[in-house]
Structure 1
Protein backbone atom coordinates (compact mmCIF):
# COMPACT_ATOMS: atom_id res chain seq x y z
CA UNK A 1 0.00 0.00 0.00
CA UNK A 2 1.20 3.51 -0.77
CA UNK A 3 1.90 5.54 2.34
CA UNK A 4 0.87 9.16 2.56
CA UNK A 5 3.29 11.89 3.48
CA UNK A 6 2.26 14.30 6.20
CA UNK A 7 1.38 16.92 3.60
CA UNK A 8 -0.63 14.59 1.33
CA UNK A 9 -4.39 14.97 1.43
CA UNK A 10 -5.15 11.71 -0.39
CA UNK A 11 -3.60 9.07 -2.64
CA UNK A 12 -4.52 10.94 -5.82
CA UNK A 13 -2.93 14.24 -4.86
CA UNK A 14 0.35 13.41 -6.63
CA UNK A 15 -0.79 11.04 -9.35
CA UNK A 16 0.69 11.36 -12.81
CA UNK A 17 -1.81 11.83 -15.62
CA UNK A 18 -2.11 8.78 -17.82
CA UNK A 19 -0.67 8.80 -21.32
CA UNK A 20 -3.46 6.46 -22.37
CA UNK A 21 -6.96 7.46 -23.34
CA UNK A 22 -9.94 5.97 -25.11
CA UNK A 23 -11.88 7.66 -27.88
CA UNK A 24 -14.75 6.08 -29.82
CA UNK A 25 -13.91 2.65 -28.38
CA UNK A 26 -10.23 2.75 -29.41
CA UNK A 27 -7.12 3.25 -27.27
CA UNK A 28 -4.43 5.88 -27.89
CA UNK A 29 -1.39 7.22 -26.08
CA UNK A 30 0.27 10.63 -25.91
CA UNK A 31 3.98 10.99 -26.60
CA UNK A 32 6.17 13.51 -24.79
CA UNK A 33 6.85 15.10 -28.15
CA UNK A 34 3.18 16.02 -28.37
CA UNK A 35 2.06 13.27 -30.72
CA UNK A 36 -0.77 10.81 -30.43
CA UNK A 37 -0.29 7.16 -31.36
CA UNK A 38 -3.11 4.76 -32.12
CA UNK A 39 -5.74 3.55 -32.54
CA UNK A 40 -5.51 0.24 -30.70
CA UNK A 41 -8.33 -2.19 -29.99
CA UNK A 42 -6.99 -3.07 -26.56
CA UNK A 43 -5.18 -1.16 -23.83
CA UNK A 44 -2.44 -3.81 -23.62
CA UNK A 45 -1.59 -3.15 -27.29
CA UNK A 46 -1.17 0.57 -26.61
CA UNK A 47 0.94 -0.20 -23.51
CA UNK A 48 3.14 -2.57 -25.52
CA UNK A 49 3.69 -0.04 -28.31
CA UNK A 50 4.37 2.79 -25.85
CA UNK A 51 7.10 0.65 -24.27
CA UNK A 52 8.56 -0.05 -27.73
CA UNK A 53 8.35 3.67 -28.59
CA UNK A 54 10.19 4.67 -25.40
CA UNK A 55 12.84 1.98 -25.94
CA UNK A 56 13.38 3.11 -29.53
CA UNK A 57 13.79 6.71 -28.41
CA UNK A 58 16.18 5.70 -25.59
CA UNK A 59 18.26 3.68 -28.05
CA UNK A 60 18.59 6.61 -30.42
CA UNK A 61 19.68 8.88 -27.57
CA UNK A 62 22.30 6.36 -26.44
CA UNK A 63 23.61 6.09 -30.00
CA UNK A 64 24.32 9.81 -29.84
CA UNK A 65 25.68 9.77 -26.31
CA UNK A 66 28.26 12.46 -26.98
CA UNK A 67 27.49 16.10 -26.45
CA UNK A 68 25.01 17.52 -28.87
CA UNK A 69 26.55 20.08 -31.17
CA UNK A 70 24.23 22.80 -32.29
CA UNK A 71 25.10 24.70 -35.41
CA UNK A 72 24.54 28.45 -35.31
CA UNK A 73 21.71 29.76 -37.39
CA UNK A 74 22.96 32.09 -40.09
CA UNK A 75 20.66 34.81 -41.20
CA UNK A 76 21.43 36.73 -44.32
CA UNK A 77 19.59 39.74 -45.56
CA UNK A 78 19.18 40.14 -49.29
Structure 2
Protein backbone atom coordinates (compact mmCIF):
# COMPACT_ATOMS: atom_id res chain seq x y z
CA UNK A 1 0.00 0.00 0.00
CA UNK A 2 1.47 3.33 -1.06
CA UNK A 3 0.43 6.35 0.88
CA UNK A 4 1.20 9.05 3.37
CA UNK A 5 -0.20 9.39 6.85
CA UNK A 6 -0.34 12.86 8.41
CA UNK A 7 2.63 12.04 10.65
CA UNK A 8 4.83 10.72 7.81
CA UNK A 9 7.34 13.20 6.35
CA UNK A 10 7.08 11.70 2.83
CA UNK A 11 4.90 9.09 1.06
CA UNK A 12 6.17 5.53 1.27
CA UNK A 13 5.03 1.95 1.07
CA UNK A 14 3.25 0.59 4.16
CA UNK A 15 2.80 -3.14 4.59
CA UNK A 16 -0.18 -4.29 6.57
CA UNK A 17 0.59 -6.77 9.28
CA UNK A 18 -1.59 -8.78 11.58
CA UNK A 19 -2.71 -6.37 14.29
CA UNK A 20 -4.21 -9.02 16.58
CA UNK A 21 -2.00 -11.31 18.61
CA UNK A 22 -2.64 -13.89 21.32
CA UNK A 23 -0.72 -13.98 24.59
CA UNK A 24 -1.55 -16.62 27.20
CA UNK A 25 -5.02 -17.15 25.72
CA UNK A 26 -5.88 -13.47 25.68
CA UNK A 27 -6.01 -11.28 22.58
CA UNK A 28 -4.49 -7.87 21.99
CA UNK A 29 -4.20 -5.51 19.04
CA UNK A 30 -1.29 -3.26 18.15
CA UNK A 31 -1.79 0.36 17.11
CA UNK A 32 0.21 2.62 14.79
CA UNK A 33 0.97 4.70 17.87
CA UNK A 34 2.89 1.74 19.28
CA UNK A 35 0.45 0.70 21.99
CA UNK A 36 -0.90 -2.76 22.69
CA UNK A 37 -4.62 -2.66 23.48
CA UNK A 38 -6.42 -5.38 25.40
CA UNK A 39 -6.78 -7.95 26.75
CA UNK A 40 -9.83 -9.37 25.00
CA UNK A 41 -11.28 -12.84 25.52
CA UNK A 42 -11.71 -13.66 21.83
CA UNK A 43 -10.05 -12.74 18.53
CA UNK A 44 -13.44 -11.46 17.35
CA UNK A 45 -13.62 -9.03 20.30
CA UNK A 46 -10.10 -7.77 19.60
CA UNK A 47 -10.90 -7.24 15.92
CA UNK A 48 -14.14 -5.46 16.77
CA UNK A 49 -12.38 -3.19 19.25
CA UNK A 50 -9.72 -2.46 16.62
CA UNK A 51 -12.44 -0.90 14.47
CA UNK A 52 -13.83 1.01 17.45
CA UNK A 53 -10.34 2.30 18.26
CA UNK A 54 -9.82 3.48 14.67
CA UNK A 55 -13.19 5.26 14.66
CA UNK A 56 -12.31 6.95 17.98
CA UNK A 57 -8.94 8.13 16.63
CA UNK A 58 -10.54 9.51 13.45
CA UNK A 59 -13.17 11.34 15.50
CA UNK A 60 -10.49 12.78 17.82
CA UNK A 61 -8.54 14.06 14.81
CA UNK A 62 -11.69 15.65 13.38
CA UNK A 63 -12.40 17.40 16.69
CA UNK A 64 -8.85 18.71 16.93
CA UNK A 65 -8.98 20.02 13.37
CA UNK A 66 -12.37 21.64 14.04
CA UNK A 67 -11.03 23.37 17.16
CA UNK A 68 -7.98 24.64 15.27
CA UNK A 69 -10.18 26.06 12.53
CA UNK A 70 -12.49 27.69 15.06
CA UNK A 71 -9.55 29.45 16.75
CA UNK A 72 -7.85 30.51 13.52
Q: Given the two structures, how large is their TM-score scaled by the length of structure 2?
A: 0.65
Which of the pair has more CA radius of gyration? 1
**In 1: Cα distance, 2:53 partner to 2:16 partner:** 19
**In 2: Cα distance, 1:16 partner to 1:60 partner:** 23
Q: Corresponding residue for 1:30?
A: 30
Q: Given the two structures, how large is their TM-score scaled by the length of structure 1?
A: 0.61
Give the gaps of 5 or more residues in structure 2: 1-14
Report the count of equivalent residues.
Answer: 54
Aligned CA-pair RMSD: 1.8
**In 2: Cα distance, 1:63 partner to 1:41 partner:** 32
**In 2: Cα distance, 1:61 partner to 1:16 partner:** 22
Consecutive aligned runs of 4 or more in structure 1 exceeding 2 Å deviation: none
Higher strand share: 2
Q: Give the secondary structure class of the aligned counterpart of 1:21.
A: strand
Higher helix share: 2
Corresponding position: 1:46 with 2:46: yes
